[in-house]
Chain A
Amino acid sequence: MSGDANAGAGTTSAATDSDDTAKVSVDSLGKTYASDRRTVEALSDVEFAVEDGEFVCIVGPSGCGKTTLFRIIAGLEDATSGAVTLDGSPVTGPGTDRGMVFQEYGLFPWRTVRENVAFGLEEQGVEGPARSERVTEMLELVGLDGFADAYPKELSGGMKQRVGIARALAVDPELLLMDEPFGAVDAQTRDMLHGELLDIWTETDKTVLFVTHDVEEAVTLADRVVVMAANPGRVREIVSVDIDRPRERTESEFAAYVERIRGLIGE
């Protein structure tokens, strides 16, 4: 089924074979920003795959293009070269097969919690009881069922991001894409949200791609960590984190992973 597009060129390499089993596959992705005076290579030959149900974090120093990579996977920006495929079909624009969670929450302030979560369902034409049941289910999943009728202004940062997650999951996306979702909440709330996110991930069997600059956060959450380097943005190494969950930061194994990844980044 994926053969048609590539058949003429005859590119049946090992890479495309492995893509067929992957949920998400990023193939030799490049992004160059050209201005009048110079060109900046934001991403160069980025290549990795995410398996179905896997939790993958992308970490890297600022300027390594991780947000650009996130936006290309989301379909909010076009790649200069290469491609992103989701379940074998190339990403050409934003779509509900990828649920997005943003650092600044991106809630619609004029909509209540319930109405925010319902937004994507409205666009899909889910009506009446089916819609309200789905919204209630999502609010229970993130522990906000008592706040259905509150406006975002009445919520704390952590609660806002729970709404963001519920809204993204409501349309049942193939992939949950998160861009530094807990960057704006305090450390204590962040720890709590990590636990909740892992619970939600286990409960929903979603594939998660999570961008962060926080190495400890990546080691806490991820099955695998894609470590990026800057100038130009590229994949330095992909690290599998083989620690049972829940992971404790005080464990020596945890510290070893953090140290190794920091070494790769060059912090």
Chain B
Amino acid sequence: MSNDEVGTGVTLSETEADERLLDRLAGFSSEQTWLAVAGFAGFLAVWYVAALFQPTYLLPSPVEVLAAFVVELTAPASLSIPFTGAELPATRLLVKLVQSLYHYVPGLLIGTSLGVFAGVAMGWNTRVDSVFTPVSRLLRPIPPLAWIGFAVIWLGVNHQGATFIVAIGSFWINFYSAYGGVEGVSEDLKEVAATLGVDDDWTMIRKVVIPAASPSIMTGIRTSIGQCWMIVVAAELIVGVGVGYEILNTAQNLAMDVSVAYMLVISIVFLVSDGLFRRVERRVLEWRA
């Protein structure tokens, strides 16, 4: 029945998608791409020229930074694997990066899980919401780094201390995005589910609330992936390991080229992790209009 209407609906959306893709490709291949390349080249040129008139310890040139980057990337070092005592051959840069990942990954995972859990719980249940809202309002404005003192006396100057700080940072980001997402779930969809036989909270949360809130939850996770790199660097300044510490440590020795090379590491790692997560996000949320 009604093949006409059916046909039109799909042809339209396919054409639209094609056009959008074409627009993007066309846009990328011409003006936007050139402007982006020109902007980046201009930045490097200004930096290079400015560095000509300064000693390296005040402003290293892009060439010196690249050279330092290559040295750090290739200089041999040994990577100790925690809990095993084993040592693996690696490079200096890799060792620092892995040290940072030891704080970043567990901190992000713990903070994100707890944040999403708390946000969903408070967004779903008004009683839980009432009980915890004052506490969350009080604690929310405190910057994650302010907890560094507790991190050190509770957990020590080590990975756990930095992990704790990262977890606090990602907790709040994910808490608010999940909370907002759950609060915004339409009553209609919950009613539809109820009329189709959903009669307990857990099923409703699992099959309706979380999928409906997922765009907001995913945005929170992506934001925290970025923010946690900022936090991990700051936390490492105090904890004394990882890429963040290396940025400060090398600068204190006036090896500014190396310091900037490690800043570059943060940028690259952020761009890669953000890019990967965007792909995951697109896949997970492909149903979205």
Contact = CB atoms under 8 A, between A and B. Distances in A.
Interface of A: 74-76, 93-96, 98-100, 102, 104, 106, 108-112, 119-120, 123-124, 143-144, 146-147, 150-156, 158-159, 167, 171, 189, 192, 196
9 contacts: A75-B195, A76-B194, A100-B191, A102-B192, A106-B189, A108-B211, A151-B287, A158-B2, A196-B1
Contacts of B194: 76, 93-94
Contacts of A109: 287-289
Contacts of A99: 195
B6 A159 contact: yes
Interface of B: 1-2, 5-6, 8-10, 13, 188-189, 191-199, 203, 207-208, 211-212, 214, 286-289
Contact of B2 (A75, A95, A143): A143
B287 A96 contact: no
A104 B286 CA distance: 21
A154 B10 contact: yes
A45 B79 CA distance: 81
A10 B66 CA distance: 95
A154 B192 CA distance: 20
Contacts of B211: 108, 110-111
Given A154-B13, A159-B9, A98 B287 contact: no
Contacts of B212: 108, 110
Contacts of B208: 108
A64 B176 CA distance: 41
Interface centre among B1, B188, B199, by most A CB within 10 Å? B1
B5 A100 contact: no
Contact of B188 (A98, A102, A146): A102
Contact residues of B: prevailing secondary structure? helix
A191 to B, nearest CB: 11
A15 B2 CA distance: 44
Contact of B214 (A93, A110, A151): A110
A40 to B, nearest CB: 20
Contacts of B214: 110
Contacts of A108: 189, 192, 208, 211-212
A147 B198 CA distance: 26
B195 A100 contact: yes
B198 A100 contact: no
A176 to B, nearest CB: 11
A94 B188 CA distance: 13
Given A94-B194, A106-B188, A192 B5 contact: yes
Contact of B197 (A74, A146, A153, A171): A171
Contacts of B2: 143, 158, 192, 196
A210 to B, nearest CB: 16
Contacts of B288: 109, 153
Nearest to B14: A154
Contacts of A143: 1-2, 6
Nearest to A100: B195
B195 A96 contact: yes
Contacts of A147: 6, 10
A119 B193 CA distance: 8
